[in-house]
A and B are shown apart, each in its own frame.
Chain A
Amino acid sequence: MQPLLYNNSLDTLFMVWWATFYAVVVGVPLGLLLILTDRGGLLQNVVVNKVVGAIVNIGRSFPFLILMVVLIPFTRFLVGTSIGPSGAVVPLAIASIPFFARLVEAAVREVDHGLVEAVQSMGGGTWTVVFKVLLPQALPALVAAVTTTVITLIGYSAIAGAVGGGGLGNLAYTYGFQQYETRLMVVTVVLLIVLVTIVQLAGDLIVKRLAGRGSRSTAPVRVGLRRARTPQASEAPAPATEEPATALTKVT
């Protein structure tokens, strides 16, 4: 049982790793393309935007199981086989690319347009804006998007496993479900839970580190106050509110 679990876990990691790799490599440029060609974007092009948007939406509407079946000829053409972990990587990657591209689009859209203008005012072109502003500023959100994608892929890989893709899903299905090895099924599910938890925790940690740059010394309370303040309101009332606070601390 041990080698079975070990090998199938490796297969799952193999599928998830390569699918994530392709999702990032193709999804980041695709997401950027969606943003840049959008109305008001740096490379505004309504036709390209609509076409890419439609392709992404079609890719996302396919139920994964159907997508796998539809892609069988394409997968055979690409990797020579449509079964096993290698065969599963192709549909996994193709399912996650549009998903991840939309997440990239949302992450990059959050970047303050003022920063783009600032770089343009310095004489920066589109590439400078992409590599010095959009990607670095969206990095925490992008890492969160990768985390979400990896976890989604772990789920998809289990589905892929059930139809001959290998990995933990295959193990749970063939041994656990078809041969009534309930113990093995439980162990597999626990392994998947552990895997998902580790990925989520690691992702959250990285996001926290990236987003927290420079805010270690400032208390979160202060940030809240600053946000609440309207631009018109001067900081004049601040000393007035601070004084009673200091007075209070002196008393206590």
Chain B
Amino acid sequence: MITTTGLTKVYRSRGREVTALDGVDLHVREGEVYGVVGQSGAGKSTLIRCVNLLERPSSGTVTVNGQDLTALAGRGTRANAALRKARSHIGMVFQHFNLLSSRTVQANVELPLEILGVSGKERERKALELLDLVGLADKAKAYPAQLSGGQKQRVGIARALAGDPKVLLSDESTSALDPETTRSILQLLRDLNQQLGLTVLLITHEMDVVKTICDSAALMKGGRVVESGTVSELLATPGSELAAELFPVGGEPSGPDRTVVDVTFHGEAATQPVISQLSRTYNIDISILGAAMDTVAGKQIGRMRIELPGRFEENVVPIGFLREQGLQVDVADVACPAPADAALLKEGAK
């Protein structure tokens, strides 16, 4: 649905060059929610603004819904009619909402329809329908200044949907909201994604956003995509930084002669209560050191760090059992903290 190939953006100012995007290849499938995460300055914002060409990429192509926007745009810096028409079918939601304070909520939602040349009556009907969809039917005549942050973002979403887009771009849309409002806005995006088959590309610096609604994710660093894939693919990738950030597990063994194992559940086989099966089958005591799990559609996704008694050599069979269940098992290389603590204690005693 959205494909970028070799997308590069170089800013030039006062003779200095700053590379914001360095050959980004992104592929967002139709109907999925795709999250791009990264720290500020990683190029996320430039990337999403290149998708609807608010920012002209220095090189590379952007294809949205089968249309090569970079070819459409021509060479000038101003948007031509063809690009403007393509943009009207790509919704965009912003961090700071960007609503016109001089217009009522309804008039804000009507704005894209005015640009599309829709007649007054039809505009009103459509705007009220969209406001109803985002749960703000009663606020049509209010001004943005009278709304809360979450309500403003709902108006922003309704406005983004006015052009019947197939694609919605979300530029840190929940970053200015409190956690509870963030959840409700994400829920709304999820609903829209499922009800309207809307493809959503969102950028965020909050891992929770990705965890809550994304089917796929990409991690950006220094203008490059360093990891990407569906959430289960990422989990299945050993050493995936994104998976570790999404499902962080910690915990150290409680003593020497223990085996610490990280078990990754990535959706497919993880419907059985494997830990208690393991315990019963081999008659061993298992302690859970840390876990980050989510249950999505009856399937467990996430990671768990467990501790088995005895050295690794003694635990080959139980680990084999876990692997047989279709789980990914990695022996965690964590040292027993006891000697370090003992040293500290000695220091303290002195």
Contacts and interface: CB of A to CB of B under 8 A. Distances in A.
A122 B103 contact: no
Given A119-B111, A119-B115, A213-B143, A231 B176 contact: yes
A117 interface: yes
B72 interface: no
Given A132-B114, A218-B146, A235-B149, A123 B98 contact: no
A21 to B, nearest CB: 24
Interface stretch (A84-92, A133-141, A150-158, A182-190): A133-141
Given A120-B79, A137-B101, A234 B179 contact: yes
B207 to A, nearest CB: 15
Given A44-B77, A122-B163, A117 B98 contact: yes
Interface in B98-153: 98-104, 111-112, 114-116, 142-146, 149
Contacts of B104: 214
B175 interface: yes
Interface residues of A, number: 33
B92 A121 contact: yes
Nearest to B89: A123
A128 B116 CA distance: 11
B84 A118 contact: no
Contacts of B246: none
B84 A125 contact: yes
Interface string B162-176: 110000010000011
A217 B148 CA distance: 12
Given A137-B102, A213-B143, A215-B146, A121 B87 contact: yes
B85 interface: yes
Contacts of B144: 214
Interface string A30-50: 000000000000111000000
Contacts of A137: 100-102
A121 B52 contact: yes
A228 interface: no
A126 interface: yes
Contacts of B179: 234, 236
Contact of B100 (A115, A120, A125, A234): A115
18 contacts: A43-B78, A121-B87, A121-B169, A122-B111, A123-B88, A123-B115, A123-B116, A125-B84, A132-B115, A133-B100, A136-B100, A136-B103, A137-B101, A210-B102, A213-B143, A217-B146, A231-B175, A236-B179
Interface of B: 52, 54, 77-79, 81, 84-88, 90, 92, 94-96, 98-104, 111-112, 114-116, 142-146, 149, 159, 162-163, 169, 175-179, 181
Interface of A: 42-44, 112, 114-115, 117-126, 128, 132-133, 136-137, 139, 210, 213-215, 217-218, 231, 234-236, 238
